[in-house]
Chain A
Amino acid sequence: MPKTEKEKGFVDIINGRYKPRGVFHTIEKNQPIFDKDTGKLAGVTNPRDMTYIHSYGGEAPFFEGLGKGRLMATRCDNDKCETRGSMYQPFRIYCPDCLRKNTIIDMTDIAKTTAKIHSYIITHRSGAFNTLPKPIKFINVEFEGVVTILMSVLAVGEPEINKKVIPIFNTKAPTYTITDLRFVVEGTSKSELPEGFTF
Chain B
Amino acid sequence: MIKFSDKQLKIPKLMRPVYLATVGMSKFDRAFPETRTEELCIQAFTAAADFVNMTPSELKKYIHTCYYGHFADHFGDQLLGEAVIHDRLGLDPLGNIGVKTGGATGGSAMWEAVKTVASGYSDCALALGWERMDEVPTDEGNHLISAAADKDWETPLGHIYTGYYAVMAQRYWKIFGKEEDSFRDTMAEIAVKNRGYARMNPHAQGPLKITIEDVKNSPIVAYPLRALDCCLMSVGSACGIVCDEKTAYEITDKPLRIYIAAGSHTLRVADRRNMTIPLLPNETTETYKDLGTRFPGSDRYPGFTGFLAARMAAYYTYRMAGVVDPIEDLDVIELHDAFTISDIQSYEDLGLRPYGEGRDYIESGDGYLINPHTKKQGKLPSNLSGGLIGCMHAVGATGLMQIAEIGYHIWNRWDEIHEPQEKWDAFGREKPDDWTSLQVKNAKRGLAISHAGVGSHVTTTILMDPNHLLKED
Contacts and interface: CB of A to CB of B under 8 A. Distances in A.
Interface stretch (B135-143, B196-204, B373-381): B135-143
Interface stretch (A101-109, A127-135, A164-172): A127-135
Interface string A123-159: 1111111111000101110000001111111000000
B152 interface: yes
Nearest to A56: B152
B420 interface: no
Contacts of A152: 157
Contact of B167 (A63, A83, A96, A138): A138
B153 A138 contact: no
Interface in B251-297: 268-274, 297
Interface size class of A (residues with CB under 8 A): 35 or more
Contact of B139 (A35, A127, A139, A147): A127
A136 B158 contact: yes
Nearest to B297: A161
A42 B137 contact: no
Nearest to A175: B156
Contacts of A33: 33
- Chain A CB count within 10 A is highest, among B157, B174, B221, B269, for B157
B270 A150 contact: yes
- Chain B CB count within 10 A is highest, among A35, A42, A124, A149, for A149
Contacts of A59: 152
Nearest to A88: B271
B19 to A, nearest CB: 38
A125 B274 contact: no
Contacts of B174: 119, 161
B162 interface: yes
Interface residues of B, number: 48
A118 interface: yes
Contacts, number: 136
B304 interface: yes
A23 interface: no
Interface in B146-203: 146, 150-154, 156-164, 166-171, 174
Contacts of A46: 77
Contact of B156 (A43, A83, A86, A177): A177
A97 to B, nearest CB: 9
Interface in A49-65: 54, 56, 59, 63
A178 B274 contact: no
A126 B270 CA distance: 20
A78 to B, nearest CB: 16
A198 interface: no
Shortest beta-carbon contacts, A-B, top 6? A127-B142, A127-B159, A127-B143, A119-B171, A121-B166, A123-B222
